[in-house]
Structure 1
Amino acid sequence: MSDVLPLLTLALRSEQDIVHCRQAAKRLAAALEWPVLEQIRLATAVSELARNIHQYAGSGHFDFALLRDDGQRLRLRGLEVRAVDQGPGIAEMDAIRAGSYRSNTGMGIGLRGAQRLFDDFDIQTSPAGTCITARKYQAPRPFPDADLLQALTADLQGSPPPDPYQQIRLQSEELLLTNTELQLRQSELEVTNKELENTNQGVVALYSELEKATQELKEASEAKTRFFSNMTHEFRTPINIIENVAKLLASGVDGALNAEQQRQVRFISDAALELANLVSELLALAEVQSGRLTIVPQPFPLGTFVDRLEQFAAALAPRYPQVSFSVAPPPAEVLLDTDESRLFQVLRNLISNAFKYTPRGQVRIQVFQPDDASLEFLVEDSGIGIAAADQQKIFEEFERIRSPHLTHIEGTGLGLPLAQRLAVLLRGELSLDSEVGRGSRFTLRLPRHYASHRAAEPEPDLSGLTVLVIEDNEGDRYLVRRTLERLNPVLLEADSARSSLDRLNAVRPDIIILDLDLPDINGEDLLASMDWSMHRRVLINTAQPLDEAGRQRLQDYCHAILFKHAPDHAERLLAEVCALARSLSDD
């Protein structure tokens, strides 16, 4: 808010009074040391308001006032003008404010133009007259001397009628000055546009570099995943040999071992077991990251599963003699329908972690059923706890929290990252509540029925996506077509590898369903001939029995492998196509 100090009132009865108001506004702005262009803008706006009064109301008056800062009355904040008349009021006011009103006289255009030249602009109009209050603000400055204002006011009120020819000359000079300013602004605008054009070119180049870097990172990630997958399989053979030879030696088949030799063989066996666990975790993590790990839900009783967890904890306990454990029986005997092996893998890692980070104390495993559709598994320990700053790190690969209370911690730092990723794949959520010195609580919440949770998700609309079915058997093509047609994809079919080549190269389908038994070219050879960007779009659909080596070889070249003879083949096909479509839409 500002304190208003009235300064000057000028009557409006003739054309000369319009010029008088304009001249007074300019001289007043000059006395307040406004920039020349601001003086011209104020004079122009006042002239337009005065002309409106004269044209539409016949007569009225103009009030000029200074705005003082409420907090510091000796500071000047700006200037206020009030144009008042007793005319018939302004019709179509809403349209004039919106800038949509049009008239032959130009009414409304002048008001809108004047409004743009002020900081505040208020119109109150009725059949009894119109009052327009407008304000122009400047940076706060010392308030003008009272004697100066008095002399200026007297001069403006008593000045003779302005010479029209002199006013025309002054307005011409102002017009030239304004035109020069506009030319200068136009030049600045052209320079700015050129800079923006150059900047846009740089942004485009930057986007291109970012896309290239993203692709390189993606390829590097895929290469890392392939390396993990390949190397872990290569490691398994020598590890198995070490484990089996250690067992042979410990059994005494080739002669009894003395106590020291037994101890050495046990060291070898334990090291082989740790290495085997590391390989298994690396392989599982690689499968999760590549998106090729599949969830196979099967029904199983909760009580039997909890017994299995208790047996695992009992087998682990002798390695931690200062840690006790308890496994609470389930609240009720319920049936789960999810992937039992993956669920056990998650909880096995959580239980191992609880023992590992508890120098002495207790580990508790409990199961809760918050509602009919879900379960919660709680693994709680009274160990060293995890600081808030480290609670996110423990879910990162190869991250382990060091503690002065534990000088040696076994493990690789892969257990918790793998557990979290598997929990997501099981459509569950893994949460942590921990405090240093007071232990940790890991809670796994997941649906009892994996399939029903999945069915609750809406099937995507594949309109606009192209699906190419490469299959020589007409019956199999029909089954695929009938399974997918309700999702509205563009379905293309090829009954041989050669007939698919033109579609692969010209159309570049979004999803490819490939049979391995093709009459002309082996499906695996066709797959290998595709570029890497297309491999992630391929679903192998085969009746061939594949051993582990063949399966692993093909997994590096496709999104998933489906077997025609599987009892849930149609459901799996639909699920994998939907998952692949979602992954494409996320890219």
Structure 2
Amino acid sequence: MSNYRRITTVSITHEVDVVACRQSAKQIAAWLGLSTLEQIRLATSVSELARNVYQYVGSGTFHFDLRKDPHGLVNAIGFEAVDEGSGIADIERILDGSYVSPTGMGVGLRGAQRLMDEFDIQTSAAGTRIRALKSVYPPRPFPSEKRIQEIRRQLQTEGASDPYVELQVRGSELLLTSSELRSKQQELEATNLELENTNKGVVALYSELEKASQELQEASESKSRFFSNMTHEFRTPINIIENISKLLLKGADGELNPEQYKQVRFISSAASELSDLVNELLDLAEAESGRMEIVPARFSLVEFMEQLRQFTGALSMRYPTLDWQVTPILVDVILDTDRNRLFQIMRNLISNAFKYTPQGAISVRCFLPDSDTVEFMVEDSGVGIGAEDQARIFEEFARVRIPGLAHVQGNGLGLPLAVRLASLLRGDIELTSEVGKGSRFTARIAREFVEREADLQNLDLTGITVLIIDDNEADRYLVRHLLEPYHAVVIESENASASIDKMHAVRPDIILLDLDLPDIYGADLLESMDWSLHSRVLVNTAKLLDDTERDRLLSQSQGVLIKTQPDYAEALLQQVQRLAGSYRP
């Protein structure tokens, strides 16, 4: 208790002492310079508790204290209410609001708790002790011993006023504050607490969020590594089973009798299905981890549609009762993307259409909605997918059970893989479906895998915070001048030390980092940042970099800008536009 200083004590033995308790609380709060509303809140809380002591116990004691912070300043007014009654029954239900009493018992206690910033109650058959605190913000200088003696004498001299006068005063206070209390009570309490802890709370929140995000990312990477490693391990024994079963079926070591031939054919078929599953697992793991290599090449859309027609024709032989059509495109265009990955997407979509169409037709069409996009549509008249399952079918290993189609083979990886591949090819997949009326899958893919130059005319950085860490005033001025027309919020820092506080307090969306800083080398500052900040950094330097250092910087940042390059201004805006795009919905 060394950080608490007792101001006064009020004994409650008569009803007038309840008024004295209230007046003492209000005078102490006014003495410290608290607002009128805060004075009323403290006085009301004390009054309610003092009335409870007098009404239910008959006597008790109130102690009023000031609390010091580590700097010796007053940061709270506290009181301690003590009685020797028989305790409070149902205290937990009273405090959580679930206790209902026909006499109103417990309402005052819960109201007093809500008016205070800290509230602790200990009750038993031997009595009740309540400790409560009202925060003082900003903290005030702690009064001298002389001032404490003066307020004690003032409180003792004035005593309690006439109860009827006190009622008039309280009525005036209620008229003054009731409207504001009703509309602003919760807001003010939350705001006061936030003002005291904003910086610490925000930093802690970001830290927790980033820690959770990092753990999720690590878990996802572990899963991808597991899939990748296991599928590689599976491939060798599967290949052996497949190849040996083929040798047996061909009679390389002697003819098989009909029953043996049937058994080996089952083995070969199962090995083939397992091989397909392993390949899809491996592709999915590579796509999720970002290690999947995309090899763009130029090819004709007409030729690709012919490839789809041949594949669909071969697949349709397993489904002789279904009609199908691959509509040729009338105008040929040249695509510049990964043909094999695009075919993999379409193969999965077309195969699914055949699997889930017991009768009817499948059609494959292609459209050119604009100069940048090609659209492939796979439509069937099959069983359809309910609205509740349409999102789930894109989850790994998720399969929708459809009555009458339990025989359909699959592992639930085809569609998730197709979505991942479409995303890698700068596209997406859209589903429209209705139960009993079929499904339509639309795959939109960028015609050119390599992005075109950014359209700076439409650049809008409203709401994007950019931190410039550079000791050269002219360089900072240039960057600020380049970004101002696009409405970015620009913050500047002349050295690494000052930038650290700004990075943690503001959490900028984009960080432009110079390497030659006066206090810390920029690359060392970059290395000290947490992983989430690495995704926001553009190295902005005039230093000549060798390949080794450039690669190291690129592994921890989103790009490297050289201030002396001829197109520096345009390159900077393009890089900023790319990063800003990741923060848009």
Please, what TM-score do these two structures have when normalized by structure 2?
0.49
Q: Point out the structure with max Rg over C-alpha.
A: 1
TM-score by length of 1: 0.48
